[in-house]
């Protein structure tokens, strides 16, 4: 990485104690972007589009997303940065649930975070934890499963 930037490795380590510190700064810089999840007109479409973006980020070569996740297990500084990034991304993605509520696809008391995690977790599980090759059908399948669960009340307080 230092060679690509045209600096000596010692310069990088003088500025950042480890890769975790460098990635934390990178994460903070990405938080300044204006990214928003796509509005496709349906909950299923929005979640599938989000999953396609996530799958593309996780399978790109080199994958910055995968490097960030890996570094977060080796550096507490990187782990804090990844947590801040996730908080930001989940907060931005809550608009998907708000739009679905407005369209009448979900009840108003839907737990946005729970639904978003359920919709995206299968991608991270298969691509990051199991290191399986990308499945082109997985983004829609995971989104569909989450939508069906949400329709059954899985993400509302309900009357237990």
**25-50, pLDDT tens digit by residue?**
666 666 567 899 999 999 999 999 99
Question: Exposed, middle or buried, 4 (CB in 10 Å: 0-12/13-18/19+)?
Answer: exposed
- Non-local (6+) Cβ contacts of 123 within 8 A are 51, 54, 55, 58, 138, 139, 142
pLDDT score of 75: 81
Q: Tally the domains of the chain.
A: 1
CATH number, domain with residue 132: 1.10.357.10
- Can you tell me whether residue 84 is helix, strand or coil? helix
In a domain, 59, yes or no: yes
In a domain, 9, yes or no: yes
In a domain, 159, yes or no: no
Report the chain's mean pLDDT, rounded to a whole number: 86
Report pLDDT digits (tens) over 60-73: 887 777 777 777 88
Over 60: is that where the pLDDT of 160 sits? Answer: no
In a domain, 157, yes or no: no
In a domain, 121, yes or no: yes
In a domain, 129, yes or no: yes
pLDDT score of 33: 78
Domain of residue 55, residue span = 2-151
Supply the DSSP string of 13-53, one letter for each residue: HHH-SSHHHHHHHHHHHHTTS-------SSHHHHHHHHHHH
pTM (whole model) above 0.75: yes
């Amino acid at each position: 990485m230092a060679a690509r930037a045209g600096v000596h490795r010692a310069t990088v380590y003088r500025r950042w104690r480890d890769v975790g510190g460098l990635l934390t700064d990178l994460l903070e810089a990405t938080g300044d972007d204006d990214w928003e999840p796509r509005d496709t007109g349906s909950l299923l479409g929005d979640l599938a589009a989000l999953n396609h973006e996530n799958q593309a980020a996780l399978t790109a070569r080199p994958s910055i997303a995968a490097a960030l996740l890996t570094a977060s297990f080796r550096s507490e500084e990187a782990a804090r940065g990844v947590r801040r990034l996730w908080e930001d991304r989940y907060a931005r993605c809550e608009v998907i649930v708000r739009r679905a509520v407005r369209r009448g696809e979900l009840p108003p008391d839907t737990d946005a975070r729970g639904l978003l995690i359920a919709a995206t977790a299968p991608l991270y599980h298969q691509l990051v934890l199991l290191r399986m090759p990308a499945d082109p059908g997985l983004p829609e399948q995971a989104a569909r499963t989450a939508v069906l669960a949400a329709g059954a009340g899985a993400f509302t307080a309900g009357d237990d």
